[in-house]
């Protein structure tokens, strides 16, 4: 099943089975069915609960807070993650604060789905990965499923549980096939834990401990597969990769047991590394005394806007080649 179909199917089930689920956002009604076609067919099937809105991100995110306080479970689609900046006051000063500052007299089960990430040539305002900005908001949860997860099941759990969640969908993943643990690509093993927001572990080394541990999420799962096969075949470097589906709060316990043996930990993100998600993960590992003498490699986007031209964009975002160069340098390969 494709990534986009998994999410579409989950929304269909949620709308079918739960009267309190409302799904709305810009341009998601048929026949258009949303900029990335996630909502295709749903407004025809559920005309009163799947609604196209005006271009008003602050209002539609803010309204979700009111709907949730009044007992609904809104799912808001924000067409491009970049547009969440327009709704930032509602996220920061309203939705995430209501339950806590009102001393839990209300709850705000709100799920905000959005398309993040670059590699499509959409340029500076339609390509960003904003997890660093968003993760600094207290009490906001952030999900970022990969092709090794079941994004639809994760979305269902989001919608049916409390708290405000950003459900980040990397736009390169929509058309890709999901990869199940029982059917891994040649040379890789896949394990997933049974948490509602599962963490996936990829390995290229069934019988020996990993020398390199990669921690990443979402769209970078695509880079990792090729990278790990090359590390095994060309350099015989045993490597594990951890892909949490919830990236904030960070599920530290899911990676701790991996950090015993590797010589280096590589953190890979598509947002800029400066004051970023990787920095937080590394700080948590260091505070937990899990780093010892391990080398730390951080790879993310350059600290610039994301350019539109293909060669320029490739230069700003992480690539397999850039990652390999850094790994070879650290391991003297």
> Which positions lie near another protein, rule CB under 8 A?
22, 53-54, 56, 58-72, 74, 89-90, 93-94, 97-98, 100-106
| Nearest distance from C-beta of residue 163 to another protein, angstroms | 13
User: Nearest-5° angle of CA 71, CA 75, CA 80?
Assistant: 150
Does residue 166 contact residue 139 with C-beta atoms inside 8 Å? no
**Number of Cβ atoms within 10 Å of the Cβ of 59:** 14
Closest CA to 79 of 45, 54, 97, 49: 54
Q: Which is nearer to another protein, 85 or 291 (CB)?
A: 85
3-state secondary structure of 56: coil
| Shortest distance (Å) from residue 242 CB to another protein | 25
Sheet of strand 110-116: strand arrangement: 50-53, 21-26, 73-78, 110-116, 164-170, 140-143, 246-248
Query: To the nearest whole angstrom, how small is the minimum distance from the Cβ of residue 241 to another protein?
Result: 30
Q: For residues 43 and 221, which CB has a smaller minimum distance to another protein in the complex?
A: 43
The SS3 assignment for 328 reads helix
CB of 215 to another protein, least distance (A): 24
In the complex, the smallest distance separating the C-beta of residue 103 from another protein, rounded to whole angstroms, is 4
Helix (H) / strand (E) element for 317: namely none
C-beta closer to another protein: residue 62 or 251: 62
Q: CB within 8 A of 46, min separation 6: which ones? A: 15, 16, 23
Provide the minimum distance between the beta carbon of 88 and another protein in the complex, in angstroms, as a whole number: 11
C-beta closer to another protein: residue 64 or 115: 64
């956002």: which residue's tokens? 25
> Residue 64 or 75: which CB sits closer to another protein?
64
CB nearer another protein, residue 100 or residue 275: 100
């Amino acid at each position: 099943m494709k990534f986009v179909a998994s999410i579409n199917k989950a929304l269909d089930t949620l709308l079918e089975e739960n009267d309190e689920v409302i799904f709305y956002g810009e341009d998601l009604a048929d026949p258009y069915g949303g900029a990335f076609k996630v909502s295709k067919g749903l407004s025809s099937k559920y005309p009163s609960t799947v609604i196209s809105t005006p271009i008003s991100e602050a209002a539609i995110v803010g309204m979700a807070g009111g709907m949730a306080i009044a007992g609904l479970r809104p799912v808001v689609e924000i067409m491009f993650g970049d547009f969440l900046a327009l709704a930032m006051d509602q996220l920061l000063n309203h939705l995430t604060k209501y339950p806590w500052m009102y001393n839990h007299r209300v709850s705000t089960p709100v799920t905000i789905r959005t398309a993040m990430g670059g590699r499509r040539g959409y340029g500076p305002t339609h390509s960003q990965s904003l997890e660093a900005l968003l993760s600094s908001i207290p009490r906001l949860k952030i999900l970022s499923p990969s092709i090794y997860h079941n994004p639809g099941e994760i979305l269902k759990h989001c919608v049916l549980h409390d708290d405000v969640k950003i459900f980040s969908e990397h736009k390169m993943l929509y058309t890709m096939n999901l990869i199940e643990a029982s059917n891994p690509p040649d040379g890789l093993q896949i394990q997933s834990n049974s948490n509602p927001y599962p963490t996936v572990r990829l390995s290229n080394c069934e019988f020996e401990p990993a020398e390199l541990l990669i921690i990443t999420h979402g769209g970078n799962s695509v880079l990792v597969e090729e990278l790990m096969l090359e590390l095994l075949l060309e350099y015989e470097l045993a490597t594990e990769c951890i892909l949490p589906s919830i990236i904030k709060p960070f599920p530290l316990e899911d990676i701790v047991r991996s950090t015993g043996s590797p010589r280096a930990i590589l953190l890979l993100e598509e947002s800029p590394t400066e004051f970023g998600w990787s920095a937080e993960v590394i700080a948590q590992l260091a505070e937990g005394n899990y780093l010892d003498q391990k080398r730390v490699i951080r790879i993310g986007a350059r600290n610039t806007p994301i350019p539109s031209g293909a060669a320029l964009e490739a230069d700003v975002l992480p690539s397999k080649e850039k990652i390999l160069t850094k790994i070879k340098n650290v391991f003297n390969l």
